[in-house]
Amino acid sequence: MPGTLAGMIDIDRYRIRPGTTVSLADHDPRDRRGFAGTKAEGKALLARQSERLDDLQEHLYADGRRRVLLVLQAMDTAGKDSTIRHVFGSVDPIGVRVAAFGKPTERELGHDYLWRVHPHVPGDGEIVIFNRSHYEDVLVVRVRSLVPEERWRRRYDHINDFERLLADEGTTIVKCFLHVSREEQAERLQERIDRPEKRWKFRRGDLEERALWPEYMAAYEDAITRTSTAHAPWYVVPADRKWYRNLVVSEILARTIAELPLTWPTPEPGIEDIVVT
């Protein structure tokens, strides 16, 4: 299709095949091999890609039989919010929702950990973006020792079963880990401190989480290794270059929807000869 990114970015290089043991040290957060364009060209391509994604979303919504779930996970400053803004900025908001998962409420803690997630999955014709997700319960819960190890280790199988349920019922799942380097995170955190209009985003607790970087990398490696499946694949997306991160996520999502067997609804019979005056 002219004007798309198809063939310009090899998204398969970022997809984690089932059974692969993931080492994030093997994934360059600044990788952009296979894309020879400049930053300005990349942004221009993203604008064109957004138009394509808008068309695809309309087709998904009109078809009304399929659902798409995009899961975004990342360390702080990797750009989950920014990715959503840039990838979906030109997409018709009808049929698109964002669900953000923060610290569980007391009511949520009174149920199993998937209880708060299931009501937010997409319905027919919808795209839903999870800004953080059920994976927090094998990430921060693990790193912060909020439950015993034997308990969080069982959750990989729970999550695989949950995602299999969604897939079997018509949901296409794509999961992106926005892979930012520790050095880039330091620069972005410092920018939040140095710029008054961004200072509200910074919390001292951000530095406590940063100090646990090795523990979080180990948790992400295990989670991605254990839960990248044929029906719910993980992609490790380079996130040090914001513009390239956006391009990759946009292409992953657009290609995923384009491969769905979508059809247009049958129009009302006899309208093809109507002339509007």
Q: Which two tokens stand for residue 48?
A: 């064109």
Residue 2 in domain: no
pLDDT of residue 207: 95
Rounded CA separation 196/114 (Å) = 38
Looking at the structure of the chain, the number of domains it has is 1
Is residue 129, in this structure, part of any structural domain at all?
yes
Half-sphere exposure of 36 (CA within 13 A, CB side): 1
Residue corresponding to tokens 């929807």: 257
Task: Give 38-76 pLDDT, tens digit per residue.
Answer: 899 999 999 999 899 999 999 999 999 999 999 999 999
Tokens found for residue 60: 């998904």
Q: Which tokens is 16 given?
A: 């984690």
- Domain assignment present for 172: yes
3-class SS at 150?
Answer: helix
**pLDDT at residue 31, as a whole number:** 95
- Distances 258 to 1, 66, 215, 252 between C-alpha atoms, Å: 11, 12, 37, 10
- Which residue positions in the chain have pLDDT lower than 50? 1-7
Write phi, then psi, for 107 (nearest 5 degrees). -65, -45
Direct distance between the N- and C-terminal alpha carbons of the chain, in angstroms, rounded to an integer: 35
Predicted model pTM: 0.94
Q: What is the pLDDT of residue 176?
A: 98
Confirm whether 47 is domain-assigned: yes
Longest dimension (CA), the chain: 71
Does residue 24 lie in a domain region?
yes
- Predicted local distance difference test score (pLDDT) of residue 35: 86
Flag whether 263 is in a domain. no
**Which whole-number Å values give the CA distances from 105 to 37, 49, 71, 159, 256, in the listed order?**
45, 38, 21, 21, 34
Among 71, 62, 235, 57, residue whose Cα is nearest residue 138:
71
- Integer CA distances (angstroms), 182 to 146, 192, 217, 231, 268, in order: 24, 15, 10, 31, 57
Cα separation, 79 vs 192, in Å, equals 13
Q: What is the pLDDT of residue 66?
A: 97
Closest CA to 78 of 236, 253, 254: 236
Quick check: is 85 in a domain?
A: yes
Segments forming the whole domain that contains residue 71: 11-258
- Cα 210 to its chain centre, rounded Å, is 21
What CATH code is carried by the domain that includes residue 242?
3.40.50.300
Residue of 255, 236, 254 lying closest to 245 (CA atoms) = 236
- Is residue 20 a part of any domain in this protein? yes
| Proportion of the chain in helix, strand, coil states, percent, rounded to 5 | 50, 10, 40
